[in-house]
């Protein structure tokens, strides 16, 4: 089946169906994939998927991403030359790294990078997402302080874990990898949440230099707004 025959193409048509298609929005999870694609240099088209139910719960988007979350990709040149669709940012990062042989070292170092990627997927991302809800967004109206305090404390704990891992190294798994691409966009979310002081960011001396190194990379700068936010 050609990707032009797939349901998502009815709403987000591919201009060039021979290249990888990205369906995303520049949230922390969305940025991961666009930055990785820019680092790798793989040709792709980016389609803006708004976070409204009209987009993420549409039949077209659900046909590719049944969990109704961005990002998702459709690669016309998947394994054995057949198209493949993927959702979940961590799975997409691993797929792109293995497809191209980039952003993931070989041997034992590969598992070090995968370990930290899983740490972000299972810990840093979910905990910071909950922190944002209870500290910055709708959950801040809840009078009971326990949910907010829970995620403030867990965020601080995770930041300390990362801070220690970065002692004496530029990148969390040794060489620059998908693990760094997964982690840094979530660290930057603390600016959006206006929560850096609350979680003790200044106490973790290795974190801001880590973010700064990451953002010095041209691919990180460009990929952080792909597809562009409306009005940007």
What single string gives the DSSP state of each residue in 19-56? SEEEEE-SSHHHHHHHHHHHHHT--EEEEE--SSHHHH
Q: Which fold has domain 3-103?
A: Glutaredoxin (3.40.30)
Average pLDDT over residues 179-191: 98
Whether residue 5 is predicted with pLDDT greater than 90 in this model: the reply is: no
CB neighbour class for 49 (10 Å; exposed up to 12, middle 13-18, buried from 19): buried
Q: Would you place residue 11 in the very low, low, confident or very high pLDDT band (cuts 50, 70, 90)?
A: very high
Q: CA–CA distance from 179 to each of 4, 108, 117, 121 (Å)?
A: 32, 15, 4, 10
Across the range 31-38, mean pLDDT stands at: 98
Can you give the three-state secondary structure of 177-193, one letter per residue? Answer: CHHHHHHHHHHHHHHHH
Q: Say yes or no to pLDDT of 58 above 90.
A: yes
d(CA 96, CA 178): 9
Peptide bond into 121 cis (omega under 30): no
Contact 35, 223 (CB under 8 A): yes
Q: Residue 83: pLDDT band by 50, 70, 90 thresholds?
A: very high
**Which tokens sit at 118?**
């899983």
pLDDT digits (tens, 9 = 90+) for 94-115: 999 999 999 999 999 999 999 9
pLDDT score recorded for residue 55: 98
**pLDDT at position 1, please?**
64
Please, are residues 3 and 14 in contact by the beta-carbon 8 Å criterion? Answer: yes
**How is residue 44 written in tokens?**
């792709």
**Please, are residues 76 and 17 in contact by the beta-carbon 8 Å criterion?**
yes
130-178 pLDDT, tens digit per residue, is 999 999 998 989 999 999 999 999 999 999 999 999 999 999 999 999 9
Average pLDDT over residues 57-76: 97
pLDDT reported for residue 3: 77
Answer yes or no: are the C-beta atoms of 128 and 186 closer than 8 Å.
yes
| Spatial distance between the Cα atoms of 204 and 230, rounded to a whole number of angstroms | 34
- Determine the pLDDT at residue 178: 98
Contact yes or no for 72/23 (Cβ under 8 A)? yes
Domain spans, the chain: 3-103, 108-219
pTM of the model: 0.96
CATH number of 108-219: 1.20.1050.10
Number of residues assigned to the chain: 232
**Mean pLDDT computed over every residue of the chain:** 96
* Tokens encoding 90: 């961590």
Mean pLDDT, rounded, for 4-12:
91
- In this prediction, residue 6 carries a pLDDT of 87
Q: What pLDDT is stored for residue 34 in this prediction?
A: 98
Mean per-residue pLDDT, 173-200? 97
């Amino acid at each position: 089946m050609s990707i032009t025959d797939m349901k998502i193409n009815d709403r987000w048509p591919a201009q060039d169906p021979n290249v990888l298609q990205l369906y995303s929005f520049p949230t922390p999870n969305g940025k991961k994939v666009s930055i990785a694609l820019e680092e790798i240099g793989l040709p792709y088209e980016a389609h803006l998927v708004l976070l409204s139910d009209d987009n993420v719960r549409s039949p077209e988007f659900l046909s590719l991403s049944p969990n109704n979350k961005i990002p998702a990709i459709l690669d016309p040149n998947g394994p054995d030359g057949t198209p493949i669709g993927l959702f979940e940012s961590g799975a997409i990062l691993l797929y792109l790294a293995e497809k191209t042989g980039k952003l993931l070292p070989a041997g034992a170092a590969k598992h070090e990078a995968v370990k930290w990627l899983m740490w972000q997927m299972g810990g840093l991302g979910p905990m910071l997402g909950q922190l944002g809800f209870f500290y910055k967004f709708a959950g801040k109206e809840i009078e009971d302080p326990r949910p907010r305090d829970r995620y403030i404390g867990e965020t601080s704990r995770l930041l300390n874990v990362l801070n220690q891992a970065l002692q004496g190294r530029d990148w969390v798994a040794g060489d620059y990898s998908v693990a760094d691409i997964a982690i840094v966009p979530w660290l930057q979310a603390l600016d959006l949440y206006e929560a850096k002081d609350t979680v003790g960011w200044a106490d973790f001396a290795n974190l801001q230099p880590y973010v700064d190194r990451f953002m010095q990379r041209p691919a990180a700068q460009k990929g952080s707004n792909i597809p562009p936010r409306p009005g940007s």
